[in-house]
Amino acid sequence: MQTPFEYRDGSMFCEDVEVERIAAAEGTPVYLYSASAIRGRFREYDEALSGVPHRVCYAVKANGNLSVLRLLAEAGAGFDIVSGGELYRVTKAGGEAAGVVFAGVGKTRDEIEMALEAGIHSFNCESEAEIALIAALAARLGKQASVAVRVNPDVDAETHPYISTGLKEHKFGINISEIEQVYERARGLAGVRMEGVACHIGSQLLDTSPLIEAAKRLVELVERLRARGFAIKYLDLGGGIGVPYKPDDARPDVAGFLAAIRELVKEHGLTLLFEPGRSIVAEAGALVTRVLYRKPGTGKEFMVVDAAMTELIRPALYGAYHEIVPLRKSRVPGTVTADVVGPVCESADFLAKGRELPQVMPGEYMAVMTAGAYGWVASSNYNARPRAAEVLVEGSEWRVVRRRETYEELIRGEE
Ligand code: LLP
């Protein structure tokens, strides 16, 4: 399934559910996700790796809804986490700690202890100070942590600067030229086993060749480390495969990419780990919004909708493009060029700029597409806006997997 969304008789469906029914029943803005699409994307990874030791660790940060995590856990996914909160979510959703890798430059002592006690698979470490802290905490608990150092392979991901991470100037990882010395210095630490190498060079890569280049550099590094006596077992290549947001964006060939990686590692006896987020959930999701007003501006029009940067920050933060389409094919002929804006008091509060759209009228619904990743998870209560509901669709069934926030929840914990 390339996308779970299609028009039937002029009305948009997600799987076998008419999206307008969800919007009418639950109100807007509302996020919806297709369970089959998410499962299908996960299987694409898993099946392309069958026969090689591997684990696909879904990046929880992309969409951490418990029901999404549960369905991935049931499909056999491991999880890539970046905080204690994400570990808590994974555990609550029935995910096994033994399938969890923990990434991030700023793990706190409490988070490390929580992960050690839970018995996660491994830590992807980003500095020597962090390795030392993990070693000390693990030794105190009578444990030994499996550690991979996140390598910065100095490969340009050629993506948006805010989501590019694999160059020397970035805060992530340790430069590839320093790695061997880092492992040597960690050799004597009782609380850690230095048995992996990891990297993640950026996100939303439509061209997978930088990922393959990074993998090559890491496989060479593995052999150099082995020559020094380190029993490296795991190669974690991170996430990063992009999705087509624009109609003419090329769709990366996940199976082809994984076949290339299999080829690269086949003589090296490594267990492969991947941490895909966006490519699993982005296209499975949409944000549905209602048009509130159409407002003429100078030389353009504003379409004011009830979703805002608080629901989907990607356009404001990265100038990201999301397709916006009406739930019902418009009866009014012609198009309008408009900025699609939300109610938040910021000029950066837009979902699209100068977009040619059909004649959608106030009261009608639109869907912001490819919003299943980095959408709801990055939403906020700015302007005291309750966060949107989330709905999971499966076949002809749908259910609310997170209620819309209430005003009472907005002030919870305050005096
Ligand atoms: N592994 C690590 C270490 C990461 O930092 C990330 C994403 C992933 C895996 C998952 O990457 P993916 O497969 O989703 O590309 N908010 C931004 C994206 C931030 C990505 C952060 N790290 C956006 O909306 O585009």
pLDDT digits (tens, 9 = 90+) for 306-337: 999 999 999 999 999 999 999 999 888 999 99
Q: Is the dihedral of CA 92, 96, 99, 101 positive or negative?
A: positive
Whole-number pLDDT of residue 332: 87
Q: How confident is the model at residue 1 (pLDDT cuts 50, 70, 90)?
A: low
Burial of 150-159, coded b for 16+ CB within 10 Å and e otherwise, reads: bbbbbbebeb
Q: How many angstroms does the Cα of residue 202 sit away from the middle of ligand 1?
A: 7
Active-site residue list:
345
CATH number at residue 186: 3.20.20.10
Q: Is 88 exposed, middle or buried (0-12, 13-18, 19+ CB in 10 A)?
A: middle
Residue 201 located in a structural domain: yes
- Ligand 1 atom nearest to 160, measured from its CA: 25
Question: Which amino acid residue places its CA nearest to atom 5 of ligand 1?
Answer: 200
Same domain, 176 and 251: yes
The answer, yes or no, to whether residue 109 has pLDDT greater than 70, is: yes
- The pLDDT of residue 177 is 95
Task: Say how many Å lie between the CA of residue 412 and the centre of ligand 1.
Answer: 30
User: Residues 355-368: pLDDT tens digits?
Assistant: 999 999 999 999 99
Query: How far is 294 from 81, CA to CA, in rounded Å?
Result: 42
State how far the Cα of 194 lies from the Cα of 313, in Å rounded to an integer.
Answer: 38
Distance CA 202, CA 301 (A): 36
- With a CB cutoff of 8 Å and minimum separation 6, the contacts of 294 are 301, 302, 303, 304, 336, 338, 361, 362
| Judgement on whether residues 265 and 298 belong to the same structural domain of the protein | no
- For residue 77, tell me if it sits in a domain: no
Residue 55 amino acid letter: R
Tell me the CATH number at 356: 2.40.37.10
Are residues 324 and 260 part of one domain? Answer: no
Same domain, 405 and 288: yes
pLDDT at residue 335, as a whole number: 95
Question: Ligand 1: residues whose CB is within 6 Å?
Answer: 59, 62, 80, 103, 163, 200, 203-204, 238-240, 275-279, 314, 374
The pTM score is 0.97
Residue in this structure with the two tokens 């999206």, named with its chain if needed: 19
Residue 2 has pLDDT above 80, yes or no: no
Residue 42 lies in a domain: no
Residues 13 and 118 in one domain: no
| List of E strands, 268-383 | 271-274, 285-296, 301-305, 324-326, 335-341, 350-358, 365-369
**Ligand 1 atom closest to residue 240's alpha carbon, by position in its atom list:** 15
Domain boundary among 246, 274, 302: 274
> What gap in Å lies between CA 332 and CA 361, rounded to an integer?
9
**Domain boundary at 242, 274, 306, which?**
274
Pair of tokens at residue 44: 């694409």
Q: How many helices (H) and strands (E) does the chain have?
A: 12, 21
Mean pLDDT rounded to a whole number for the chain: 96
- Cα of 189 to ligand 1 centre, how many Å? 31
Same domain, 199 and 314: no
Residue 313 CA: which ligand 1 atom is closest? 24
201 and 322 together in one domain: no
397 within some domain: yes
Percent residues over pLDDT 90 in the chain: 93
State the pLDDT at residue 162.
74
Asked, as a colleague might, if the bond just before 315 is cis with ω within 30 of 0, I would say no
* pLDDT for residue 157: 82
- Asked if 233 and 146 sit in the same domain, the reply is yes
Which residue has its alpha carbon closest to ligand 1 atom 9? 239
Whole domain around residue 224: which residue ranges?
A: 104-274
pLDDT bucket at 369, cuts 50 / 70 / 90: very high
Band of the pLDDT at 196, cuts 50, 70, 90?
Answer: very high
Beta strands in 206-313 (DSSP E): 234-236, 271-274, 285-296, 301-305
The atom of ligand 1 lying closest to the CA of 277 is 14
Atom 24 of ligand 1: nearest residue by CA position: 374
Ligand 1 atom nearest 374 alpha carbon: 24
Specify the pLDDT at position 261. 98
Q: Let me know the angle formed at the C-alpha of 63 by 58 and 69, rounded to the nearest 5 degrees.
A: 60
Please give the Cα distance from 123 to 245 (Å, whole number): 32
Q: Which of 239, 274, 309 is the last residue before a domain boundary?
A: 274
pLDDT digits (tens, 9 = 90+) for 112-152: 999 999 999 999 999 999 999 999 999 999 999 999 999 99
Mutate to test the pocket of ligand 1, among 81, 149, 275, 317 (most ligand atoms within 8 A of CB): 275
Whether 380 and 45 have beta carbons less than 8 Å apart is answered as: no
Mutate which of 38, 57, 61 for ligand 1? The one with the most ligand atoms within 8 Å of its CB, which is 61
Whether residue 136 is contained in a domain is answered as yes
Q: How confident is the model at residue 168 (pLDDT cuts 50, 70, 90)?
A: confident
145-152 and 174-175 beta bridge pairing? parallel
Q: Both 201 and 267 in a single domain? A: yes
Domain count, the chain: 2
CA of 375 from ligand 1 middle (Å) equals 12
The verdict on 223 and 357 lying in the same domain is no
The answer as to whether 98 is a domain residue is no
317 with 386, same domain: the answer is yes
Confirm whether 89 is domain-assigned.
no
Residue 253, token pair as written in the block: 């060939």
In this predicted structure, the answer to whether residue 401 has a pLDDT above a threshold of 90 is: yes
How far does residue 383's CA lie from ligand 1's centre (Å)? 27
Q: How far apart are CA 345 and CA 342, in angstroms?
A: 9
Q: What are phi and psi of 277, to 5 degrees?
A: -120, -75
46 in any annotated domain: no
Q: Are 219 and 181 in contact (CB under 8 A)?
A: no
* Alpha carbon of 239 to ligand 1 centroid (Å): 7
Residue nearest to atom 6 of ligand 1 (CA): 239
* Sign of CA pseudo-dihedral 335, 336, 341, 343: negative
Same domain, 249 and 111: yes
Q: Which residues contact 54 (CB under 8 A, 6 or more apart)?
A: 46, 271, 272, 273, 274
Select from 174, 197, 203 the residue to mutate for testing ligand 1; criterion: most ligand atoms less than 8 Å from CB.
203
Distances in whole angstroms, Cα of residue 161 to Cα of each of 80, 204, 383: 22, 11, 28
What is the distance in A from the centroid of ligand 1 to the CA of 59? 7
